[in-house]
A and B are shown apart, each in its own frame.
Chain A
């Protein structure tokens, strides 16, 4: 199956992280034009580097996910008329900065990143597309959000992260109905994905034996996932091969939730 996304323009929120970068590479290989969205200063140098590497294929903009007006302005100025505009979001974090029961500020930060950022992105872009037929000329716009198996089963993740991800899944189901049939939206529910600076990269460095034990005892496929495992699923859901799929949650966890 060759994914030809040459008439697609895809916004990739969180596109400078390792998972986002894998998705961007896959999108570029499938001929989609890409606008990467990021919000954190820590990615500025990486943004510059990627812009040089892919200067004619992607553009990169810093946005404020929590400011709907800022998002609307930025998304409308980078959306491409005549193309199918889509959203992929990998925005989220499972890193909590203080201990249970967590400060109000920390709870708010976790919800802002994992829920409200994604809510604003999805609602803003889908509204924008709804207002202009030229941003979705063939009625094929497809959006893919990122949840976590922590929304479904106990994997010892922080409680507010689990709750925010569960809320995100309900959001996707609700919006799927609202934007149907012209636009689709689905959510990917990954298990433990290894990235060098992510939760599992850090855990692997800190406690390789403990992580190895956890993998063998809780992941039927006996390995952590990797960003490329996710990228192919994102592409499938954006493609014309998935035109009857909306409001669905796709678990990609090596079997964790089957075993639980």
Chain B
């Protein structure tokens, strides 16, 4: 019959790319809370080390940190060899993406499509898509060869709808100087939905692959931004940081054993229409 053990992640390693970032940290805490061992892949070693200690003290779980570049297949293969010395890999969360704050000083004009640099294009696409592809290739192939597992790609509500650029508008600036959500963000997040569908039907008997499309998260945004964005969301608010953990654990665990290729919106209803 029904058992709470269907959510159990113990005895498995769960890789989280961008693991010490804003949302990645929440993913790692959720995994550890259900007994899994988070494997934190993130170039920011100092933030990862702090997270490592937090996880140890709060969940009594010994996470692992690898400050590597996920766009390097060579480095990923080394990490694979290291993890599998002690733990079976049972899950991968493709979470890493560059997502600069739109209102950041200096980003206003460079974020616009007309001025968007090839350098930024390459960085964004490399981390968001090439990195996710390589992690799927390296860790997905391994899981398919051995015990199987679950891959969760972290897309966005902006993988489903276009960004509403007026949300980021600054008063008293010309249109050509207004900051925007960079074009690469939509492309990366939409690409992850395609990667999800491809992967879901590629290793279907041993690897499930699903996609989460989170909306925005409360993070000290200005009141004027909150007023505008919350008007777009039927629930009338942004998400709290811990409101995605349940869905992530559901998708990583056997509770979702027949879900494969699903694209799941968790956005307070923003993309309903």
Residues of A near any B CB (own CB < 8 A): 1-3, 25-26, 29-30, 173, 176-177, 180-181, 184, 220-222, 225-226, 228-233, 236, 239-248, 250-259
Contacts and interface: CB of A to CB of B under 8 A. Distances in A.
B235 interface: yes
Given A245-B266, A251-B262, A236 B246 contact: yes
Contacts of A173: 272-273
A228 B258 CA distance: 10
Given A176-B272, A245-B266, A254 B2 contact: no
A260 B271 CA distance: 23
A253 B197 CA distance: 13
Contacts of B215: 244
B264 interface: yes
Contact of A246 (B204, B256, B269): B269
Contacts of B245: 241
A181 B234 contact: yes
A222 B205 contact: yes
B137 to A, nearest CB: 18
Contacts of B265: 245, 247-248
B239 to A, nearest CB: 5
Contacts of A236: 246-247, 250, 255
B24 interface: no
What is the predominant secondary structure among interface residues of chain B facing chain A?
Answer: loop
Contacts of A176: 234, 269, 272
Given A222-B205, A239-B246, A246 B268 contact: yes
Interface string B135-162: 0000000000000000000000000000
Interface in B186-232: 196-197, 200-201, 204-205, 208, 215
B268 to A, nearest CB: 5
A180 B269 CA distance: 9
Interface in B39-86: none
Interface residues of B, number: 46
A246 B234 contact: yes
Given A222-B205, A255-B201, A1 B249 contact: yes
Contacts of A184: 235
Contact of A180 (B197, B236, B249, B261): B236
What is the predominant secondary structure among interface residues of chain A facing chain B?
Answer: mixed
Given A236-B250, A241-B250, A258-B197, 18 more contacts: A1-B4, A1-B253, A2-B4, A25-B1, A25-B2, A181-B236, A231-B2, A233-B250, A242-B247, A244-B215, A244-B240, A247-B265, A247-B269, A251-B262, A251-B263, A252-B262, A258-B201, A259-B200
Contact of B256 (A30, A180, A233, A253): A233
17 contacts: A1-B4, A176-B272, A180-B234, A180-B236, A180-B269, A181-B236, A221-B205, A225-B258, A242-B246, A242-B247, A246-B235, A250-B264, A251-B262, A252-B258, A253-B258, A255-B261, A258-B261
Interface centre among B6, B205, B249, B272 (most CB of A within 10 A): B272
Nearest to A230: B258
B237 interface: yes
A232 B6 contact: yes
Nearest to B258: A229
B148 to A, nearest CB: 11
B200 A247 contact: no
B7 interface: yes
Contacts of A256: 261
Given A220-B200, A246-B272, A251-B262, A177 B246 contact: no
